[in-house]
Structure 1
Amino acid sequence: MNDRRRQRSGNPAVRGGAAEPKAPAKPPAPRPQPKASSAGSAPGGRFDDALEVPAAGLTYPQLLRVPGSAWWRSLLGVACGLALFLLLTTVINQAIVFGFWAVGSPQTPYGDYVAAATRFETPVGMLGANLGLATLIVICAVLMPLVHRVNPRWLISVQSHLRGRYFAICLALGIVAPVLIQGLSTLVEGVPVIKLNDHFWLFLIVIILTSPLQAAAEEVFFRGYLLQALGSVMKTPWFGILASSLIFALFHGVQNPALFVDRFAFGLLAAILVWRTGGLEAGIGAHVANNVLAYLLAGLTGTISATRGIREIGWENAAFDVGGFALFALLALLVASRLKIRRTVPPLPQQQFG
């Protein structure tokens, strides 16, 4: 939907039959015009009227540099976001696990049930973890208008909507690149033994239905909100790129240096992709493909719990992982160039929504 300012006009009242002309009526005071809508809702809608629209030419990491923005707003939003992350993901996860225990396995000691779920020995644990992380989307949707006075749709791209064709291509590339790298890894480590994980078919349903949501939520929070909030603190986008990547790696818990570098490199490459393509499509596509493929392979080899519990990897494995995502990033950038994907906010009359 093209943004349009709502026009108000009125026809002068027609009066007839008067013997003496009356003094012309004093024109009414001009009414304030609403801000241009940026969210695809009805122009002049109450929600959008109170929100700011990023200026044309801004890059993705600096979309929150709007009128009235201040460094303390960004830091406040980041602090609230991280606090809510730790609180809500845990509460939702535990609530789901408790509900399944109370309904289906009350005879099992609760501590044992929770421990097994946490290790992903049961599908309930994966379901709770994925839906807990999905609340990151809700957190971002609240923080954007409340703290920054910007519509949450600007987290998607510099055009405030998902660029569907580019996303579909990136999702396909996110499948192809890891498969190629996994093929090279197989030559080094050998072909894995097929052994279906316990409760495989239930795990499969959870993986297909909730892993994409979990991966997308992490991208919206780490490469979306944190990148914009921290990237808007300074004029250079690199502060947001580096800081959000570091937080992403640290929030994955205990890990050895190789695994930390692996995750930091993933976050860094994903953040650069967001900056250079102007949106989350590439990062979401790669993250969804990576998580779904990783847990599908684990399910086929009976190692879902082991995959969940990884705390260290070798430098060789880290090189394969980073190399696979670097290949994806290169292909995603080439496709973005071919499709002429916008990297900055377009002039307002040219923005397309919906």
Structure 2
Amino acid sequence: MSLAAGPPAPLRLVPAAGSEYPALVRSTGSGAVRGVVGALAAVALFVLLAPALTQLLLGAVWSLGEQAVPFADYHADAVAYRTPVGVVAGHLGLAVLVPVCCLLMVLLHSVGPRWLVSVVGTPRWRYLLACLLLALPALAGVHLLSVLAAGTPPQWQPQQGAAWFLLAVLLTSPLQAVAEEVFFRGYLVQALGSVVAAPWFGVLASALVFALFHLDQNLWLFLDRFAFGLAAGLLVWRTGGLEAACAAHVVNNVLAFSLAALTGSVAEARALQQIGPLDAVFDVGGFALLAVLAWLVGRRMAVHTRAERPV
């Protein structure tokens, strides 16, 4: 009997037909070890690269014309979002998560980055547009209800330079929100899906990591963010892609920062560390409402929830 090894198995770059989103990477043969290594590497690169890129961008701007202010002071104001440049640099720093996730997909799992987007390997643009149109009235409406319930509506008091802050938010907040979805609901869900086959594991674990990454926060704010991560993860699983989660995250962040610029300051929204139970209930209710609506629209549009066939 020959002891010679047979030819190596062909590298499977395409998810197996019938795979749900959390199992796309797992279905190509990427095992638990690569899943754990990938998740840990992703978190480490997040911690290292996002602030490094932000500081690099701020250093470049400072060197071009802000040198009258010591860089330490300039940097402190910027990362606290007390300047429009800080908003832009912070959001672009987080945008580095997209190439990080793409590289991990290719180098560690030998899977094309396009499978981070959806079970069909491409964005479902019509569904994304529908979710954006749903998210705006749903989240804005629930926010209005929470303001009315609180009985103390915020004062219309735009901060100094509000127009520049609004421009920075509108141009770069969507990049930041999409990058976080690619990282938390995209790569982490799929990497963790290689560790434990049950789809709920990646959804639950990524939501927990998402909430913990926001650092200083009281219990209600932690639960608020955990609920958002959970709702977004369930949408990704049940709709087969990132479109609905991206729409929810983009609209939520643009609304939050824009309202802050018009009623206080973006820095206050950035520094938020605690909310009350009533605010948390309304926020979670808004996320849940949007999740149900997005799921129903996905069913109506018959979006694919499983990989159809290798392409």
Q: TM-score, normalised by structure 1?
A: 0.83
Q: Counterpart of 1:77?
A: 38
1:231 aligns with 2:193: yes
Based on CA coordinates, which of the two structures has the bigger radius of gyration?
1
Q: Is the 8 A contact 1:198 1:302 kept in 2?
A: no
Per-residue deviation, 1:51: 5.4
SS in structure 2 at match of 1:66 = helix
- One of 140, 147, 157 as aligned partner of 2:118: 157
In the aligned structure 1, how far is the partner of 2:65 from the partner of 2:81?
A: 17
Q: Counterpart of 2:217?
A: 255
- One of 325, 328, 333 as aligned partner of 2:295: 333
| Runs of 4 or more above 3 Å deviation | none
Amino acid at match of 1:89: A
In the aligned structure 2, how far is the partner of 1:308 from the partner of 1:267?
A: 18
In the aligned structure 2, how far is the partner of 1:77 from the partner of 1:307?
A: 32
Q: Is the 8 A contact 1:74 1:229 kept in 2?
A: yes
- One of 53, 64, 84 as aligned partner of 1:123: 84
Structure 1: gaps of 5 or more residues: 1-34, 36-49
Q: Counterpart of 1:291?
A: 253
Q: Counterpart of 2:137?
A: 176
Q: Counterpart of 2:273?
A: 311
Amino acid at match of 1:268: L
Q: Counterpart of 1:320?
A: 282
SS in structure 2 at match of 1:168 = helix
In the aligned structure 2, how far is the partner of 1:99 from the partner of 1:197?
A: 26
- One of 172, 176, 179 as aligned partner of 1:217: 179
Residue correspondence of structure 1 range 38-49 to structure 2 within 5 A: none
Q: Counterpart of 1:106?
A: 67
Per-residue deviation, 1:66: 3.3
Amino acid at match of 2:283: D
Q: Counterpart of 1:88?
A: 49
The two structures, once aligned, show a CA RMSD in angstroms of: 1.4
Amino acid at match of 1:280: L
SS in structure 1 at match of 2:33 = helix
Q: Is the 8 A contact 2:19 2:27 kept in 1?
A: no
Q: Whose helix proportion is higher, 1 or 2?
A: 2
In the aligned structure 2, how far is the partner of 1:254 from the partner of 1:152?
A: 33
Amino acid at match of 1:343: T
Q: Counterpart of 1:53?
A: 14
Q: Counterpart of 1:144?
A: 105
Amino acid at match of 1:164: W
1:66 aligns with 2:36: no
Q: Counterpart of 1:28?
A: none
Q: TM-score, normalised by structure 2?
A: 0.94
